């Protein structure tokens, strides 16, 4: 295995691509009791149209999430969650727009649990009867999300921003779309997207990197398979379809999300740099120590739930700024005014340097979270960068780059989604 030392953060990363195409990343942490493993596939809710081996395919919304649910069933009749839990592990999984990840954390029996993780994720077992039973469970999950104001404000915003990209559709799918999912659908998508060449394994803890690689070689299929090519549709206009959307639900105070669609950087170091620049820019403009946040907090327009981030994945980058406010449109107007001021005057250089130091400190503290590190490594693998390079790359980010990023956020590119209390 190749190793790379990161002396400025006190870490060493071991990397290897196995003969079957699996990308492996291991960070040994000597003396730590806990260990964490994330086994991820470059397959999420947006991967509905794709090409593999020259063949085009289109699947219903919700297949990636449905497949995640069913992967825990083993041919022997056991459930992988039960087996891992009985062996001292804390397992779980998630499906996002861009990836599906299976993971666990434990303080003992790590190698046994890792073998089980790799075994059940690479061993599909479905019947029409079990698929039909799961359909009812997922339908209830979909119906529950429809009653959630937090889901509604987010999903409405995505439909305001995007005209055709599959990010418009729920990762869960709809009751109608999942009715078209069969055992054959799940087997076909597992064969395409769960090929080792489309996956990665990231591990952190008091482990031996060579032993992790040995276990992966033993437990996973030897065939490399073919990497599928996703089709997310034509490039979108930078302008939203609808700037303002209101909906009434059972909430005590209005919930809002302000958003914009941005052009994602190409895969590689540029993609990592874009993440660093955007995060630092939002910290400067809207963070807890910013003039904007403190002024609107003092006016009672914002509370501690206010947050701002960029979601990257599935070929898009989406700005999300939101929380709770008695007057969301006043927040939007204040944001537009603050962006115009920065465009005229630029960012304060002293504040920029303080924000960069704070961001560096936050990233150092984040290295103590094994889950965050492993998931960041997995995301980076699929986007062509190494997440551990972030702390060093951050040092080269300039104030001018942040100013250029914020200049993109012109008023005509911003949309706002609002969930209001029902009128009585």
Q: Is 49 exposed, middle or buried (0-12, 13-18, 19+ CB in 10 A)?
A: middle
Distance from C-alpha of 419 to C-alpha of 424, rounded to nearest angstrom:
15
Among residues 220, 226, 135, the alpha carbon closest in space to that of 183 is found at 135
To the query of whether residue 68 is one of the catalytic residues in this protein, the response is yes
For 382, list phi and psi in degrees, rounded to 5. Answer: -75, -15
Which listed residue (2, 58, 68, 368) is catalytic?
A: 68
DSSP code string of 189-219: HHHHHTSGGGEEEEEEES--HHHHHHHHHHH
Asked whether the CA dihedral 206, 210, 213, 217 is positive or negative, the reply is negative
Q: What is the DSSP letter of 172?
A: T
- The C-alpha angle with vertex 66 and arms to 63 and 70, in degrees rounded to 5, equals 135
Q: Are 3 and 13 in contact (CB under 8 A)?
A: yes
Q: At what angle do helices 269-286 and 328-345 cross, to 10 degrees?
A: 110
Cβ burial, residue 158 (10 Å; 0-12/13-18/19+): buried
**Cβ-proximal residues to 77 (8 Å cutoff; 6+ apart), any chain:** none
Active site residues: 68
């Amino acid at each position: 295995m190749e190793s790379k030392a990161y002396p400025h953060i006190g870490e060493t990363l071991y990397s290897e691509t196995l003969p079957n195409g699996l990308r492996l990343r291991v960070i040994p942490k000597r003396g730590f009791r806990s260990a964490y493993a994330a086994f991820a596939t470059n397959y999420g809710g947006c991967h509905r149209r794709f090409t593999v081996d020259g063949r085009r395919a289109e699947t219903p919304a919700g297949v990636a999430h449905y497949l995640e649910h069913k992967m825990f069933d083993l041919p022997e009749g056991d459930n992988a969650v039960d087996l891992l839990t009985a062996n001292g592990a804390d397992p779980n999984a998630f499906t996002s727009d861009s990836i599906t990840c299976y993971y666990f954390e434990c303080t003992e029996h790590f190698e046994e649990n890792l073998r089980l993780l790799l075994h059940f994720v690479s061993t599909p077992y479905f019947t029409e009867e079990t698929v039909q039973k799961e359909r009812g469970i997922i339908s209830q999950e979909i119906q529950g999300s429809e009653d959630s104001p937090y889901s509604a404000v987010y999903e409405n915003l995505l439909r305001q921003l995007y005209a055709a990209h599959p990010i418009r559709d729920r990762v869960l799918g709809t009751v109608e779309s999942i009715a078209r999912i069969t055992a054959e659908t799940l087997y076909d998508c597992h064969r395409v997207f769960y090929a080792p060449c489309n996956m990665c394994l990231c591990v952190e803890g008091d482990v031996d990197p060579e032993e992790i690689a040995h276990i992966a070689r033993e437990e996973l299929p030897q065939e490399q398979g073919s990497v599928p090519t996703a089709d997310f549709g034509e490039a979108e206009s930078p302008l939203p379809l609808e700037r303002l959307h209101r909906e009434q639900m059972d909430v005590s105070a209005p919930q809002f999300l302000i958003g914009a669609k941005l052009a994602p950087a190409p895969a590689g170091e540029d993609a990592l740099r874009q993440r660093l620049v955007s995060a630092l820019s939002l910290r400067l403009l809207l963070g807890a120590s910013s003039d904007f946040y403190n002024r609107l907090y003092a006016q009672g327009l914002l509370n501690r739930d206010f947050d701002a981030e960029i979601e990257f994945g599935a070929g898009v980058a989406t700005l999300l700024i939101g929380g709770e406010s008695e007057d969301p449109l006043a927040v939007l107007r204040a944001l537009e005014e603050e962006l115009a001021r920065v465009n005229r005057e630029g960012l304060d250089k002293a504040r920029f340097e303080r924000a960069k130091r704070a961001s560096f400190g936050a990233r150092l503290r984040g290295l103590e979270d094994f889950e965050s590190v492993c998931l960041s490594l997995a995301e980076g693998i699929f986007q062509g960068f190494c997440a551990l390079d972030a702390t060093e790359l951050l040092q080269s980010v300039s104030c001018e780059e942040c100013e250029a990023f914020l200049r993109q956020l012109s008023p005509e590119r911003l949309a706002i989604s609002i969930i209001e209390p029902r009128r009585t």
